[in-house]
Amino acid sequence: MLNSIITPLKTILTRKPPIFVLVPFVFAAIIVLLKWGITPVAPAVFFLAGTGLGIYFMDIAEVFFRLQPSPFRTAVFCAGFAVVAAFVVSSTGSAFASGLVFAVYITLLLWQLGEFSVAGHLGSWYEMFVGRVSRDTQLAGLGIFILFFAVITWIFLH
């Protein structure tokens, strides 16, 4: 029983590309410095812990719930998640939840940027609900998603 949990976790931890770990932690370190300074405080520690979980959260869900194809790699999920992220960041006082949300958001951004750099489009992110979408629409959606990330980051810092 325990082995059936440990083996997938090992797979998740070892297959994660380093950039998907490095970018969220660099972002988190910058946020910690901007929000709390260099003095160690409990919320900063919880924010970093949430970031750590958030980095692997989507992978864990995909593996343990055997989600193929992943419902997370769609524009619909990204839009819904952006709303949830804004709520968590602006309404909760939980640094852990905010760290988790930011890490998941960064993961979604990296997935999209990676697919766009390899395939030259984000067609698979729209296929599930609207079929084909023009490249301009895909870029606009990605741009809005990035802009929204900047806005919720600013909200969190202020």
Is 57 exposed, middle or buried, given 0-12, 13-18 or 19+ CB atoms closer than 10 A?
A: middle
Give the pTM.
0.91
**Average pLDDT of span 36-45:** 92
pLDDT on residue 1: 66
3-13 burial: b if 16+ Cβ within 10 Å, else e: eeeeeeeeebe
Question: How many structural domains does the chain have?
Answer: 1
**Average pLDDT of span 110-135:** 91
List CB contacts of 32: < 8 A, sequence separation 6 or more.
44, 47, 48
pLDDT on residue 79: 95
CA distance 108 to 23: 12
pLDDT on residue 44: 96
Q: Which domain holds residue 94?
A: 2-157
Specify the residue for token string 């609900």. Answer: 129
Going by C-alpha positions, the residue among 72, 54, 48, 67 that lies closest to residue 8 is 67
CA distance 125 to 130: 10
**DSSP-assigned letter for residue 123:** G
